[in-house]
Amino acid sequence: MKRMKGSGFQEHYERLKGEILQDPDVKAFLEKHREDITDGMIERSLGKLYEFVSQCKNCEHCTSLEECKNIIPGYEPKLVLDRNAINIHYVPCRWKLLEDERKKAASMIQSLHIPKEILEAQMSSVLIDTPSRIQAVDKAENFIAEYDGKNFMKGLYIYGPFGTGKTYLLGAIANALAEKGIPSMIIYVPEFIREMKQAIGNNTLNEKVDAIKTIPILMFDDIGAESVSSWVRDEVLGPILQYRMLEKLPTFFTSNFNLDDLEHHLTYSQRGEEEKVKAGRIMERIQYLSEPVKLDGPNRRY
């Protein structure tokens, strides 16, 4: 310190002090608390004021949480009066708050065997280049806007050819609902069926079915994609859909089959038995829970 004093330290100190006290945010804070702050408090707190100014400059041009250069990433400084001194409290910056909201929303979307990109889908990225796609997106956006988590609304039965974006639209709907604080679960049906069969062996079937049927928004992706045994249809899908119908819980579906084709698919068991009545019960529940909407267009997987 003595060496620095001998080489213009005081001059540098006064210049730095002047810059700190001329900072608009510092000036505003001192003006707001002018009756409580003394010159001695300012002198003793110059280190904190300098830290505040330098950290705030880091925040000025920040465009994401990843770019944060502050002492505590994602947090920005706020000046506070702490007894007889000026101190700093670090609070979440706008980017940190946005990231926390994103994580909170993501935590509301559960999934079974759904690719990561689907879980990150956004309504703004859904293509609307055919009349049926426009209608499907309109119905999806109407559900998102109108559903309040309390009053029953039908979900959507989205059907159409391979690769038209049916699963992506489900993910986009789930994300939009999550931003409203409404949890959902997306289930890829073929893998779900295999998992339910395995659950018999480890005695977790009832537990898994109970967890699935009570989710506020349930989404079955690719129903009808593989042969459904009588057991899966009547002992797994049936109870889930029956519960959701009675409790008025919105349910979404995607399928390559329209409703008539799906009923035909569910009518015949793996052993070739024709069970129209049992298939009809499933279809009655699906139609109660969802509204059919076609999604066509070119296969976008190629």
State the pLDDT at residue 102: 62
Crossing angle of helices 166-179 and 94-107, rounded to 10°: 120
Residue 63 has pLDDT above 80, yes or no: no
State the pLDDT at residue 106: 55
Distance (Å, whole) CA 302 – CA 259? 27
pTM of the model: 0.66
Q: Residue-wise over 249-269: b if at least 16 C-beta within 10 A, else e?
A: bbbbbbbbbebeebbebbbbb
State the pLDDT at residue 62: 77
> Could you tell me whether strands 290-294 and 155-159 are parallel, antiparallel, or unpaired per DSSP bridges?
parallel
Confidence of residue 66 (pLDDT cuts 50, 70, 90): confident
For 92-96, 170-174, 185-189, which range has the lowest pLDDT when averaged over its residues? Answer: 92-96
For residue 187, the cross-strand partners are: 112, 220
Most confident of the following: 60-74, 124-138, 244-258 = 244-258
How does the average pLDDT of the chain come out, rounded?
84
State the pLDDT at residue 56: 75
Name the CA radius of gyration of the chain, rounded. Answer: 30
Residue 105 has pLDDT above 60, yes or no: no
Across residues 4-29, what is the average pLDDT? 79
Q: What is the pLDDT of residues 185-233, one digit of tens each?
A: 888 888 888 888 887 777 778 887 887 888 889 999 999 887 777 888 8
Residue 109 has pLDDT above 70, yes or no: no
Contact yes or no for 77/56 (Cβ under 8 A): yes
Sheet holding 217-221, edge to edge: 109-112, 184-188, 217-221, 251-255, 155-159, 290-294
Q: What is the pLDDT of residues 128-159, one digit of tens each?
A: 888 888 999 999 999 999 999 889 999 999 99
Domains for the chain: give ranges and CATH numbers: 2-96 (no CATH), 108-294 (3.40.50.300)
